[in-house]
Amino acid sequence: MKEIIRLEDIRRDFTVGDETVHALRGVTFTITEGEFVTVMGSSGSGKSTLLNILGCLDTPTSGDYYLDGVPVRTMDKNRRATLRNRKIGFVFQSYNLLPKTTAVENVELPLMYNPSCSARQRREKAVAALEAVGLGDRLMHKSNQMSGGQMQRVAIARALVNDPAVILADEATGNLDTRTSYEVLVLFQQLHAQGRTIIFVTHNPDIARYSSRNITLRDGRVTGDVRNHDILDAARTLASLPVEED
Amino acid sequence: MNLTNLFKIALKALGNNKFRGFLTMLGIIIGVAAVITMLAIGQGSKRSIQAQISEMGSNMIMIHPGGERRGGVRLSADDMETLKIEDLEDIGSQAGFVTYVSPAVNSSGQAIYGAHNTPTTVYGVNRDYLEIRRYRVEDGDVFSDRDIQTAAKVCLVGKSVVDELFPDGQNPIGKVIRFGSIPLRIVGVLESKGYNSMGMDQDDLIIAPYTTVQKRILAITHLQEIVCSALAEDYTEQAIEEITSILRDNHRLRPGDEDDFSIRSQQELSSMMTSTTDMMTVLLAAVAGISLLVGGIGIMNIMYVSVTERTREIGLRMSIGAKGRDILAQFLIESILISVTGGLIGVVLGIGAAFLVNILASYPIYIQPWSVILSFAVCTVTGVFFGWYPARKAAGLDPIEAIRYE
Ligand SMILES: Nc1ncnc2c1ncn2[C@@H]1O[C@H](COP(=O)(O)OP(=O)(O)O)[C@@H](O)[C@H]1O
Ligand SMILES: [Mg+2]
C-alpha cells in the first residue's frame, strides 16, 4: 500500500514568555492510502498541533514529515500553501464557510487558487463534490440558509474538491447534535469506502469505533495505535437512533 | 498568481458589503469631483482672461508721460507733457521690435445726433491704432493719412455709440454728428468687441485723427499716450528696451536721470492676471486635494476594519492554499476597485458640477484633459497607498491563529 504520511520523531515546542511548552514530544507513525484514522486524546494533548503540522500549516521544531513522499519540513511558506492547495482537504469544527456565499462558490474556493483549473472545470468539480455529499439540490443555497449538518457537508465537499491525498478533520462533528454527527460520520465512511485517506481528530471515543485505526495522544506522545478490525457501520447506528420529534 | 480569480474574489467580497463599499467610495467621489470642478473653474477663468487680453492685443505697449508714480503722488504738470509727436516718429522709424505705433489723445464728452445724444469718449489716434487694439472696420473706411495732416473732421464710431445715436437703424455712414461743438462726419463703423475683462464696453467710443482731437477739441500739442505693438508678445521686453533708449535720447536724459515717461505692457498685465488665477487654481486644487486625501484615509480605515473582521476568512483562504501575496493582492484589488470606481463616479460628477456652475452661475469653465487623467491616477495611487498597510496586515496573518479568531 502507498504511504501517504510519514512522521519521524516530530517535536513541536512553543515558547510562551520564557517557558517552553512541549506540545509534541516525538511523534512517529505512518499512514497508508485508504486508512481512516481517528486521533484521540484529552484536551491539551497536542491533537490540534499535530493536525496543523500534518496540514502543512505549521512546521515541527524537529523531526521529518513526508506527505505523499514530499518532505515538508524544508519547504517555504509559499510552497506549503501550494501543497495544501493540491494535497490536503480541511474540515473544521466551525465549518468556516464564507458568509453570503452559495454552496457551490464555497466549494469552488480551493480551485480559485489553482491557476491550472479553468472556470468550467471548477464549476464541474464543485457540483460533483456537492453531489457526492448529497447536496446536489442545494447548489445555490447560501451558507446562512443552511443547517449545521448541511454546512458541514458543504465544508466536506470543499475538502474533496481538489481530490486531496488526505482529508484532515478537526472535531468535525463537535458542533453537531448526535443525529447529525452520525450523518456526517456516514459520509466519512462512504469516503473511506471510496478509498480516501482520512485523519479525524476527536475527543469522542465512540467515533473511534467507526474508523479503521485509532491513534491516542497523551502529553504530546503517542500512547496507543490500534487497528480496528471490527468497524461499526454508521448508517446502521443512525437508523437505530431514536427519531427525534421536532 | 491568477489575477482574474483574484479579481473575482475581490469583487465578490465587495459585493457582500455594497453599502459599506459605497460609503467608503463617497470620500473618493467627493474628493475627485471637487478636484475636477475646482480645476475647471480655475482654468476657466484663466482662459477667459487670457482670451480677453489677447483680444485687446497681447503685444500692446503703452507709454505714458511722467515717470513712475511713487506712493500715489503725481509728479508735476510739466512732466505730463513730455511725449511729443517726434517721439512717436522716432519709435516708428528706429525701434525694430515695434510694428505699429499710434499716438493717443482722448476727451470725454457728449456725442449728439439730432435729438439723440450719449456720453462717450473720443480717441485721437492714427491708423495703426486699429491694428494695435484689434479693432476692425465693419462698414465704411478708416480715415486717411491726409485726414490726419489736415485735422479733418471725420470719425469712426463704435457699435454702442451707433445704437444710441441711430436707434432707428439708419445707416450712420456719411452722417455728421457733433462731439461737443465739433461736427464730425462718420466715415466708418467698428466691428463690435463686447466687454473686456474689466467690464468695460469696448464699443462705446469714437475714433478720430489725433490731430483733430489735439487741435479742435483739446487744444494741446503734446500726446497723452503713445501705444504701440511689439513684433510679438515674446518680443515685448526688447521692444520696451528700444523704446526706453529712444525716448531717453529724445528727452536728453543723462545716465542716472529718472525716466520722464512710463511704459506698461499688456504682457505684464496678462502675466499678472494669469498668475493670480494660477494661484487661485492652486488653492482650489489644494483644498480639493485634501478632500481626496481624507477620502483615501477613509479607505484605509475601512480596509483595516475589514481585515480584522474577516480574519477567519483570511485564515480559511490561507489554509486552503492562498499564499500571502494572494491575500495581499485581494485586499489591494479591493481598495483599488473602491478608489477607481469612486474616481470614475467622481470624474463624472465633477464634470457635471462644472457644467452646472457654467450654466447656473454663467462662470467660465474649462475641463483640462490632464486634470481628469491626473485625478484618476491619484485615485488609483490612493487606493494602492492606503490599501497597502491593511493588505500587508492581512497577508501577514498566521493561518492557524486567524482561523480560530473569534
Ligand atoms: N500557539 C501556541 N502557543 C503556545 N502554546 C500552544 C500553542 N498552541 C498550542 N499550545 C499548547 O500546546 C499544547 C497542545 O495544544 P493543542 O494541540 O491545541 O491540544 P488539543 O488540540 O489536543 O487540545 C497545549 O498545552 C497548548 O497550550
Ligand atoms: Mg484542539
User: What ipTM does this complex have?
Assistant: 0.94
Percentage of chain A modeled with pLDDT above 90: 88
In B176-224, alpha helices (H): 210-212
* Beta bridge mates, B341: none
pTM given for the model: 0.75
Q: Which residue minimizes the CA distance to atom 26 of ligand 1? A: A44
**What does the alpha-carbon distance between residue A136 and residue A154 come to, in Å, rounded to a whole number?**
10
Q: Reading across the β-sheet that carries A62-67, which strands appear in turn?
A: A19-32, A3-16, A62-67, A70-71
Q: Which domains does chain A have, with CATH numbers?
A: 34-60+76-240 (3.40.50.300)
B123 and B138 Cβ atoms separated by less than 8 Å:
no
Nearest residue to A41 (alpha-carbon basis) of A171, A156, A168? A171
Render pLDDT for A90-126 as a digit per residue (tens, 0 to 9).
Answer: 999 999 999 889 999 999 999 999 999 999 999 999 9
Q: What is the mean pLDDT of each successive set of 10 residues along chain B, which is 406 residues long?
A: 82 86 89 88 83 75 77 55 85 87 92 91 92 88 91 92 89 90 92 77 91 90 90 85 88 83 82 80 82 85 90 94 93 90 92 93 87 84 88 93 87
Angle between helices B266-309 and B369-395 (to 10 degrees): 20
Ligand nearest the Cα of residue A14 is 1
Q: Among A66-80, A208-222, B235-249, B389-403, which stretch is predicted with the lowest mean pLDDT?
A: B235-249
Ligand 2 geometric centre to CA of A174 (Å):
11
Q: Which residue minimizes the CA distance to atom 21 of ligand 1? A: A48
B85 and B76 Cβ atoms separated by less than 8 Å:
no
Judged by CB atoms closer than 8 Å, whether chains meet at B321 and A100 is answered as: no
A98 and B309 Cβ atoms separated by less than 8 Å:
no
Judged by CB atoms closer than 8 Å, whether chains meet at A90 and B5 is answered as: no
Is the confidence at residue A245, as pLDDT, over 60?
no
- Name residues whose C-beta falls within 8 Å of residue A189's C-beta, 6 or more positions apart in sequence: A36, A210, A233, A234, A235
Sign of CA dihedral B164, B168, B169, B173: negative
Judged by CB atoms closer than 8 Å, whether chains meet at B318 and A81 is answered as: yes
How sure is the predictor about A193, in pLDDT bands with cuts at 50, 70 and 90? very high
Query: What is the structure's pLDDT at B75?
Result: 54
Q: What's the rounded mean pLDDT across residues A188-196?
A: 94
Query: What is the structure's pLDDT at B235?
Result: 85
Query: What is the structure's pLDDT at B371?
Result: 82
Question: Which residues' Cβ are closer than 6 Å to ligand 1?
Answer: A 14, 16, 21, 23, 41, 43-49
Render pLDDT for B379-405 as a digit per residue (tens, 0 to 9).
Answer: 888 888 889 999 999 999 999 999 988
Query: What is the structure's pLDDT at B69?
Result: 56
How sure is the predictor about A56, in pLDDT bands with cuts at 50, 70 and 90? very high
